[in-house]
Structure 1
Amino acid sequence: MELRFELKHLQLKETFSIAYGNYNKREALLIELSHQNSKGYGECVAIDYYKIDLQYFVLKLKEIKGKIEAQKIIHPKEFFHFLLSLDLHPFLLSALDCAYWDLFGKLENKSFIELNQLPSDNLVESSITISVGDIDKQIQKIEKSSWNKFKVKCKGLDTNTVEKLLELNKNIALDSNASFTDEDCLWLQENINVQKFTYLEQPRPIDNYKILKKESFANWMADEDCQNLDSLDELIPYYKSINIKLMKCGGLTPALEMIKKARELNYKIMIGCMTESTVGISAGCVLTGLVDYTDLDGANLISNDYATGNSVENGKIMLSQKPGLGIDLK
């Protein structure tokens, strides 16, 4: 097996504004694993509020390249156990895990869905993100959009904004990126009309969730609070829903475990994404038959996508039907 990697530049179609800041680009690290003329791809991106340093990842890959290339082709779940021995950051672990699933499927001539016997009918439609901004402009974007589901970003709570969004009678979720106060959360979860929002994502900074009540009008969804399998038990009294992102949890292999346990604990589940190319989005798409919500608009937000594969068209999940994760570079 051969390992290659390359830093890539993702240019956003327009400024992406969230509570953490404004962004016009993202840096990505593309992983390629190859064997017998088949190539598998994975990706991770630099997210400042997660303190991701792609240059460090490059140095780490140079250090472990020999160990990875010495591995025989084994089942991806076995390969993941090998990756765990390398003490990798979850973002880098995810890129390698996804690349190997893509490669393995191509070598076996089977899709990830076939290999794991996953449902592929009635895939949950994705939302598209509406950046932080003037509420009237946000509403204008929603009304002009050909998508059916929306995640509206906000910075702090404006009750006037909440009321205007609820009046739209659209499928809308709110994502404050941890910018709500305790008082904001109390107001929301005690307001009967708030149950019209599909979910309210990551209201408070990490580990500040104990003001939240699961049995309230708000469908609180954990994002940064829900990093991996170990988070699930602790969050039960506070969150009804969780956002599983492959980069947070370490890839497709742990995501499957998280989904299984989250179902056992009666969580509602979303597959989410960062700003990613079709490499990252293709991996998320294969899990959408297992979840309640999907937010996989990342590749739709960039202007220089460098891959083809599974995709999202006006919210509809379009599976490529190709082996592995169906990823090819343009």
Structure 2
Amino acid sequence: MKLKIETIRLDYINPFRISRNVTTSKENIIVKLSDGNITGLGEASADSFYGETNATVVQAVKKGFNLIKNEDPFELDRIYDILNKNLGSCRVAITALDIALHDLICKKLKMPVYKYYGLEPIKSKLTSFTIGIDTIPKIIEKTLEAKKYPYLKVKLGCKNDMDIAKAVMDNFKGKICFDANAGWTLNEAVKKISILAKYKPEFIEQPLPPVKVKDLKILKKHVRVPIIADESVVDRNDILPASEFADGINIKLAKCGGIREAFKMCVIAKSLGLKIMFGCRTESSILVTAAAHLGSMADYLDLDTNVLIKNDPYKGDVFDNGRITIIPGVPGLGVSKIK
């Protein structure tokens, strides 16, 4: 195999703010693995919350590739174990290599990634559309623009959370969920969730920091709205502990280590009776489409960042008014560069 690394810049249509930061643009790493005349695409979206930078990602990808370049690309479990052992602290680099390998081998097999796992392609499956933290006038404007979508995710984790929630719900009548991105204390969470409950949200996502395990367990006893764990669950090892304070988990390919790990996480979560959600970071259609290939295993999808940015250089899954479709029968990820 041969490796090629590129950098792409993704620009948001509107500044995207969550509880801990605001993003207007982001540079992601594109990984290309070639074997003969077939090339697999992968992507890394580094997140400073986990101590990742593009520099450390590139270094880890190069190191990982040198460890696996002579391996059989079809030995995905063996390759994952090698990468996990040597790059465990940079999971996003494992993700980029894993996705590129899946794209490569499935192109060789002339089958879609979903079929490789015995799954059906999703067709018009509902995904949430995200409203980031903003001023109240801007929140109202964004909500009115998003009225065509049947399901919204609203970012919280600031002083005027209740004003934001009210501004959205006064102007939207569809499905709703709220995401604090670990931005609340225990007392805040109890009070705010009790108020948010009147809007009948599907769930509240990551109300407290992941290190506050004791508080998360206490919170679970005081609220009736389902809790989805995001930052608390990185890979399969975190699922059982999270089951003590959460009703479901948010799986992100960039966070967990790729498609192979995500599939195994789904199996474990289902065995524990947990809801499954697929989410994303700031990503192009490479990462978003890769997650969508496992979409039939999910109860919830939050795969919308490729439509929140204005210059996605790739095309893959089809997003239509808040619903996602994987084009059936296309080998690999089914992602291509926009010409």
TM-score (norm 1): 0.92
1:2–1:34 CA contact under 8 A, matched in 2 = yes
1:70 to 1:124, Cα distance in 2 relative to 1, 3 A? same
1:118 to 1:195, Cα distance in 2 relative to 1, 3 A? farther
Q: Does 1:159 align with 2:162?
A: yes
CA distance in 2, matches of 1:201, 1:82: 32
Q: Does 1:2 align with 2:2?
A: yes
CA distance in 1, matches of 2:331, 2:221: 40
State the partner residue of 1:115.
Answer: 116
Letter matched to residue 106 of structure 1: K
State the partner residue of 1:22.
Answer: 22
Cα drift, residue 119 of structure 1: 2.6
Q: Deviations over 1:124-161 (max 9, x none)?
A: 31111101013343233223222211111123364344
Q: Does 1:292 align with 2:273?
A: no
CA distance in 1, matches of 2:13, 2:163: 29
1:194 to 1:156, Cα distance in 2 relative to 1, 3 A? farther
* 1:155-194 correspondence runs (5 A): 155-156=157-158, 158-167=161-170, 168-190=172-194, 193-194=197-198
SS at match of 1:203: coil
- Specify which of 152, 155, 158 is matched with residue 150 of structure 1: 152
SS at match of 2:244: coil
- Specify which of 323, 327, 330 is matched with residue 331 of structure 2: 323
1:195–1:217 CA contact under 8 A, matched in 2 = no
1:90–1:250 CA contact under 8 A, matched in 2 = yes
SS at match of 2:116: helix
How many residues end up aligned between the 2 structures?
Answer: 330
SS at match of 2:87: coil
Deviates more, 1:4-13 or 1:162-171: 162-171
Cα drift, residue 306 of structure 1: 1.3
- Specify which of 269, 279, 288 is matched with residue 276 of structure 2: 269
2:139–2:164 CA contact under 8 A, matched in 1 = no
Cα drift, residue 14 of structure 1: 1.6
CA distance in 1, matches of 2:195, 2:157: 19
Letter matched to residue 149 of structure 2: W
- Specify which of 304, 307, 321 is matched with residue 311 of structure 2: 304
What fraction of aligned residue pairs are identical, expressed as a percent? 29
SS at match of 2:92: helix
Q: Unpaired segments of 5 or more residues in structure 1?
A: none
TM-score (norm 2): 0.90
State the partner residue of 2:77.
Answer: 77
1:311–1:318 CA contact under 8 A, matched in 2 = yes
Q: Deviations over 1:289-315 (max 9, x none)?
A: 111100001111112211122232222
State the partner residue of 1:31.
Answer: 31
Cα-Cα RMSD: 2.1
SS at match of 1:213: helix
Letter matched to residue 84 of structure 1: N
Q: Unpaired segments of 5 or more residues in structure 2?
A: none
SS at match of 1:95: helix
Cα drift, residue 221 of structure 1: 1.0
Q: Whose helix proportion is higher, 1 or 2? A: 2
Q: Does 1:241 align with 2:241?
A: no
2:251–2:276 CA contact under 8 A, matched in 1 = yes
SS at match of 2:295: coil
Q: Deviations over 1:204-233 (max 9, x none)?
A: 112212332168321111110111111111
SS at match of 2:138: helix
Cα drift, residue 178 of structure 1: 1.4
CA distance in 2, matches of 1:192, 1:203: 12
CA distance in 1, matches of 2:263, 2:231: 18
SS at match of 1:137: helix
Cα drift, residue 191 of structure 1: 5.2
1:193 to 1:69, Cα distance in 2 relative to 1, 3 A? closer
Letter matched to residue 156 of structure 1: C
CA distance in 1, matches of 2:322, 2:163: 28
CA distance in 2, matches of 1:116, 1:228: 19
* 1:218-233 correspondence runs (5 A): 218-233=225-240
